Amino acid sequence: MTARLILISHASTEALRQSAFPADESIDDKGRIRAVALATHLPHADRCWTSPELRTRQTADALQLNADVDPVLRDCDYGDWAGLSFDNVMVRDPEAASAWLRDPAATPPGGDSILSLMQRVAGWLAWQITLHERTIIVTHPSIIRAAIVHAIEATPKTFFCIDITPLSMTRLSGADGRWNLRA
């Protein structure tokens, strides 16, 4: 049996529009309208999940999904950088920001590394593949990037080479401990 995942990136937020490290913000009006329009195009799912952050829960609601919250799907903890624009972080702490972009094990001050995020997502995917269900997950670009890197067995450094846009859908199918990127 095959597990089928549809990972949907949350709707647009002000932080996304400003290229900022997210805090726990709401989706914006444009994002809400686009999510409502997308709702009628979603396939049936056996189960739906969302991360605990407000933007993903609001997106799941706008998509008319009855999604359970799973804390494992939470966004990366950006620590002291949360709520700041990337440009602001580069001015305030250029060495740490550059290290974070180059080294998946580097952490923002008080935050998580991309490597630890990827390990968390890999563990969640290992559980999902055993369920043999069609699942819709509303989560963050960082979680979807980590899932793609894991699925295609890419190196952690490729994490930042993947762009995930608001409300985009990424499909993974998996069986026998192996994932395939379907779209």
- Structural domain tally of the chain? 1
**DSSP class of 95:** H
Q: What is the pLDDT along the chain (183 residues), one digit of tens a residue?
A: 899 999 999 999 998 888 999 989 999 999 999 999 999 999 999 999 999 999 999 999 999 999 999 999 999 999 999 999 999 999 999 999 999 999 999 999 999 999 999 999 999 999 999 998 999 999 999 999 999 999 999 999 999 999 999 999 999 999 998 999 986
Identity of the amino acid at 173? S
Closest CA relative to residue 175, chosen from 155, 151, 156, 159:
151
Structural tokens at position 94: 């250029």
Closest CA relative to residue 161, chosen from 171, 172, 149, 150:
149
Structural tokens at position 154: 């890419």
Instruction: Provide the whole-model pTM.
Output: 0.95
Instruction: Quote the CA–CA distance of 56 and 26 in Å, as a whole number.
Output: 9
Reported as a single tens digit per residue, the pLDDT across 44-95 is: 999 999 999 999 999 999 999 999 999 999 999 999 999 999 999 999 999 9
Q: Note down the domain range covering 22.
A: 3-181
Structural tokens at position 177: 């401990």
pLDDT of res. 183: 66
Strands 169-175 and 3-9: antiparallel
Question: Domain with 143 in it: what CATH number?
Answer: 3.40.50.1240
